[in-house]
Structure 1
Amino acid sequence: MPDTRFFQTLSPLTVAELAAQIGGEVERGGDRTIASVAPLSSADGGAIAFLGDRKFVAALAGTRAGCVIVPAEAVASAPAEAAVIISRTPQASWAMASALLHRPVTLDRAIQASEAAEDDSVVIEPGVVLGEGVRIGRGTRICANTVIGPGVQIGRDCVIGSNVTVGFALIGDRVKLYAGARIGEAGFGATGTAAGAMDIPQLGRVILQDGVTVGANSCIDRGAYDDTVIGENTKIDNLVMVGHNCVIGRNNLMAANTGISGSVTSGDNVIFGGKAGIGDHITIGEGARVAAGAGVLANIPAGETWSGYPARPIRQFLRETIWLAKQASSKKAPKES
């Protein structure tokens, strides 16, 4: 179930009612009541999940979801106890079901600083907007013209810079967010339909653990369903992008213009050079280093340094670079007569 501080859960619907509104066909269990959406792996008897790729058939067979949305050819793989909706575009149908069952809490009313602050040591500068349910810990400063969305929890001794926006987020102690940082915006998720691409509702959160620093104009997207997590004492430079569902370890360093695609996992003590780019669903081991400008398209083992595009172990990259340079220099242009 999405965090109720950030998402309102709407009235439950029967499987038949959902199917009628998302363009699906009920295979069985039309009278079952569904109250929420979830992935196959974490869904319970009151949730609806979907199969978007055949590689997740094993997860479909083991799901505890009350209802699953599947293509016609996957009906036999669905658990016998689950209700089933058939759809040609299961992910799009699930996205529509998400919008019918959950709605982000909006900033309809601003609260006074005294309602949010733990005590008088909290400093709220001019122009700050605080949503309902915001809590701010002792010794924290919120700088001018920043917007803190409903339900956000901010720890003690933090500094939230000017013109920052924070939503759908839980923030630890001693966190620094520099000017213009964007925390908790919707992750980049879209799926195809007959009418073109549609957005997938993003129902997760951002969790910034103690001691995290986020540079100016950097963006950290909330999860699609699970959380985006930035580990303790990680330091993020200016103009860095962290996509949805990423789990970043402790004491990571990310230099400017680094781009981390969705669902990346990094271990502790990983270093990302400037303008490094990481493909989605990549795992980077503890103590690894990604050189500046590298494009990572494969998992990096712990302790290794990778460079180049596509990135590979740095010794291999240097050998190939030297070989290419030698080949180029050995082919001299013919002299003019």
Structure 2
Amino acid sequence: MKFPKAHTLKQIAHLISTEYIGADDFPVLGMNEIHVVESGDIVFVDHPKYYGKALESAATIVLINKKVDCPEGKALLISDDPFRDFNKLTLHFKPFQSSDSAISQTVKIGKNTIIQPNCFIGNNVVIGDNCIIHSNVSIYDDTIIGDNVTIHAGTVLGASAFYYKNRTEGYDQLKSGGRVIIENNVDLGALCTIDKGVTGNTIIGEGSKLDNQIQVGHDTRIGKKCLIASQVGIAGCVIIEDEVTIWGQVGITSGITIGTKAIISAKAGVSKSLEGYKSYFGVPADDFRSKYKEIAAIRKIPEILEKLKNL
């Protein structure tokens, strides 16, 4: 998430009441999670296990809960609670804006696009040409929808990320300031839920087709011409490359990559990255050849046990 204008390290430190290490005028251009940071961004880290990863990332400002040596060319914001202060920055630069109408006055809707009754369309949404948005669809603020997109009834675009810190008093949510982007020629079935990014974008790539009742987590990127069947659940920060096929009720864990033209059979549980141009099934999901060998081996267990008894 880029700020509307550049800020200085001193200004950001003042906003969240923290100490800082670096020049007063050190430039701060935005804030992002570690998997999408760029030069000029703030990244936060609150666990020693990940200090190195944050300090060595592309981010040039690190919001951290310990005074450490500052890498050359970077700056530090020293906070007793980086998670809390990252939320403060999100709420400052991307505050919640309430709506006073079902379709915001700031919406941009393209030519020949049809919006059916009872839809909610939030602030600063952009919808392209020749789209059909069926009834009871909710499109949260800042969502971008391309041309020739069909969205069926009850789908929700832009809900907050399922991202929580466990505190003594209860779960504390990391605030979401990102967007959902639906590219051209995408079809979304009924009752799909696509969460916005925490600071970046959740993207459904051009020409992809999603069936009913699919969950897509925050900051996930689905490539071009993917087919995803009903009741698939995709966690946050997943990369699904082009022309992937995912059949019904597959579950996919966070932070992994599914390679180009992979095919995942129904009810598979994907717990690690999968190479492209292969077919997978099972829990945990593996390629067909490996999985069939595993099944064949399991079927031999009774025979092996019987032989052991007779020794």
Q: What TM-score, normalized to structure 2?
A: 0.85
Match runs of 1:1-337 below 5 Å: 1-2=1-2, 14-20=11-17, 25-28=18-21, 37-39=31-33, 41-42=37-38, 44=40, 48-52=42-46, 54-55=49-50, 57-61=52-56, 63=58, 65=60, 67-72=61-66, 75-79=68-72, 82-87=75-80, 89-108=81-100, 110=101, 129-167=102-140, 168-193=142-167, 195-328=169-302
CA 1:137–1:81: 2 relative to 1, 3 Å: closer
- SS at 1:315 equivalent: helix
C-alpha deviation, 1:30, in angstroms:
9.5
RMSD of aligned alpha carbons: 3.0
CA 1:36–1:267: 2 relative to 1, 3 Å: closer
C-alpha deviation, 1:31, in angstroms:
6.0
Correspondence for 2:309? none
C-alpha deviation, 1:86, in angstroms:
3.3
Of residues 92-101 and 26-35 in structure 1, the stretch that sits farther from structure 2 once superposed is 26-35
C-alpha deviation, 1:29, in angstroms:
5.5
- SS at 1:76 equivalent: coil
- SS at 2:69 equivalent: helix
CA 1:105–1:96: 2 relative to 1, 3 Å: same
Amino acid at match of 1:207: I
- SS at 1:144 equivalent: coil
Gaps of 5+ in 1: 111-128, 333-337
Q: Distance in 2 between matches of 1:248 and 1:56?
A: 29
Q: Give the number of aligned pairs.
A: 300
Q: Distance in 2 between matches of 1:58 and 1:93?
A: 19
C-alpha deviation, 1:43, in angstroms:
5.2
Structure 2 contact 227–246 (Cα < 8 Å) conserved = yes
Correspondence for 1:126? none
Identity %: 29
Structure 2 contact 33–198 (Cα < 8 Å) conserved = no
CA 1:143–1:329: 2 relative to 1, 3 Å: farther
CA 1:161–1:287: 2 relative to 1, 3 Å: same
C-alpha deviation, 1:224, in angstroms:
1.0
Structure 1 contact 219–241 (Cα < 8 Å) conserved = yes
Structure 2 contact 3–93 (Cα < 8 Å) conserved = no
Q: Distance in 1 between matches of 2:92 and 2:214?
A: 33
Gaps of 5+ in 2: 307-311
Correspondence for 1:115? none
Structure 1 contact 165–182 (Cα < 8 Å) conserved = yes
Q: Distance in 2 between matches of 1:319 and 1:285?
A: 23
C-alpha deviation, 1:101, in angstroms:
3.5
C-alpha deviation, 1:177, in angstroms:
0.5
